[in-house]
């Protein structure tokens, strides 16, 4: 329990730190003064001011922030000698706002790249036997663990469903399997059962098409980029479904998780070791990037939307209106987190 809590806190802290560091570095690159770099949300536990920036740790460990001079209120931000956020060009402001998203995305790509060099399970295009149950047609035919089933009669077997569907449709009939064992190909005759114990299947084998594949460091980043782009697309689709269900007052899906659900999954990842924790951290980082790029007030995408609106209208939106919009967005986000957290608790109680 303690290990899970510490791991959860460390992962969250790293993701937030990387995200806010992106805003901080790009803002500094363009010369914008940073008033505060905070880990967690206020109230403040402690802080130290270094070269004009307050570095703080706050009580609510659910996020973080970078406060840029003149970001929310033009008049309030006008201080002598300060370089203000709103004074920068629209492209520079957009770059600052997108920097956090970019940092989380590239963190996900970096972690996934490392995992690829360690080896990952991928569909191989061939089906192998993982386990042969005793007193089954497969055992009687002499099939063994790690045997590759290349064909059933004349049908090519490239994925588990090929073998499952064929043996069910041909149950009670003798079939010829082409088997590869230690680079040697041979054939055996098997008669799949019409009736069998639950979970055994017609032949009595556990099969898979997943094999461990290790990528060289020169290829891993490219493959990782592809993987994370596809994951990001799927996440956007899932978020769209989530918002639709909320708008139409439908029940939340079981795979929708808030802080409590994420902490629970963290505990499960810890049980499988460091690589599983890193994989989970990569997915969370990508999720944070995808969520923040959405045009929702209070998120980076919402602030970016005001920059685009300024471009379309040809003038800056009143700072007070923008600030109020983001405050309302923050309240809605907290309400959403609360709703999802209640759903997490109910799921845990129900088992």
The Cα 289–Cα 312 span in angstroms is 25
Tokens of 227: 């993987």
Rg of the chain over CA atoms, in angstroms? 27
DSSP classification of residue 154: T
Q: What is the pLDDT of residue 346?
A: 67
Q: What is the pLDDT of residue 12?
A: 86
- Give Cα separations from 62 to 37, 150, 182, 274, 337 (angstroms): 15, 51, 52, 23, 10
Per residue of the chain (351 residues), give pLDDT as tens. Answer: 788 878 888 888 899 889 999 999 999 999 999 999 998 888 999 999 998 899 999 988 767 889 998 876 554 545 667 889 888 999 999 999 999 999 999 999 999 999 999 999 888 999 999 999 999 999 999 999 999 999 999 999 999 999 999 999 999 999 999 999 999 999 999 999 998 888 888 999 999 999 899 999 999 999 999 999 999 999 888 877 777 776 776 765 555 555 666 667 777 788 888 999 999 999 999 999 998 999 888 889 999 999 998 889 888 888 778 888 888 877 877 777 776 667 666 666 665
Q: What is the pLDDT of residue 290?
A: 93
Q: What is the pLDDT of residue 28?
A: 94
The Cα 225–Cα 198 span in angstroms is 41
Q: What is the pLDDT of residue 77?
A: 44
Tokens of 330: 């923050």
DSSP classification of residue 78: -
The Cα 66–Cα 39 span in angstroms is 9
What structural domains and CATH numbers belong to the chain? 2-119+218-350 (no CATH), 122-213 (2.30.42.10)
Closest CA to 319 of 93, 72, 77, 69: 72
């Amino acid at each position: 329990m303690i290990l899970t809590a510490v791991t959860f806190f460390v992962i969250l802290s790293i993701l937030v730190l990387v995200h806010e560091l992106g805003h901080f570095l790009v803002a500094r690159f363009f010369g914008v003064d940073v008033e505060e770099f905070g880990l967690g949300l206020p109230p403040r536990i402690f802080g130290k001011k270094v070269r004009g920036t307050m570095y703080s740790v706050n009580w609510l460990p659910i996020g973080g922030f970078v406060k840029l001079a003149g970001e929310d209120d033009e008049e309030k931000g006008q201080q002598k000698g300060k370089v203000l956020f709103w004074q920068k060009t629209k492209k520079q402001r957009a770059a600052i706002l997108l920097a956090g998203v970019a940092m989380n995305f590239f963190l996900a790509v970096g972690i996934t790249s490392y995992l690829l060099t360690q080896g990952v399970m991928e569909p191989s295009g061939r089906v192998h036997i993982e386990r042969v149950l005793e007193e089954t047609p497969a055992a009687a035919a002499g099939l063994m663990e790690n045997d590759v089933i290349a064909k059933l009669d004349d049908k090519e077997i490239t994925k588990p469903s090929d073998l499952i569907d064929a043996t069910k449709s041909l149950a009670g009939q003798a079939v010829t399997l082409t088997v590869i064992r230690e680079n040697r190909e041979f054939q055996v005759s098997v008669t799949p059962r019409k009736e069998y114990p639950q979970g055994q299947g017609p032949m009595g084998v556990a099969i898979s098409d997943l094999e461990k594949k290790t990528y060289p460091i020169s290829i891993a980043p490219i493959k990782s980029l592809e993987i994370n782009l596809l994951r990001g697309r799927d996440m956007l689709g899932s978020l769209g479904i989530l918002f639709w269900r909320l708008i139409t007052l439908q029940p939340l899906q079981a795979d929708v998780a808030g802080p409590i659900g994420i902490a629970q999954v963290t505990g499960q990842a810890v049980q499988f070791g460091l690589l599983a924790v890193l994989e989970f951290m990569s997915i969370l980082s990508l999720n944070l990037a995808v969520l923040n790029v959405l045009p929702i007030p209070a998120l980076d995408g919402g602030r970016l939307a005001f920059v685009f609106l300024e471009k379309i209208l040809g003038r800056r939106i009143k700072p007070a209106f923008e600030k109020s919009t983001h405050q309302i967005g923050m309240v809605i986000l907290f309400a959403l987190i609360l709703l999802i957290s209640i759903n997490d608790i109910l799921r845990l109680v129900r088992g």
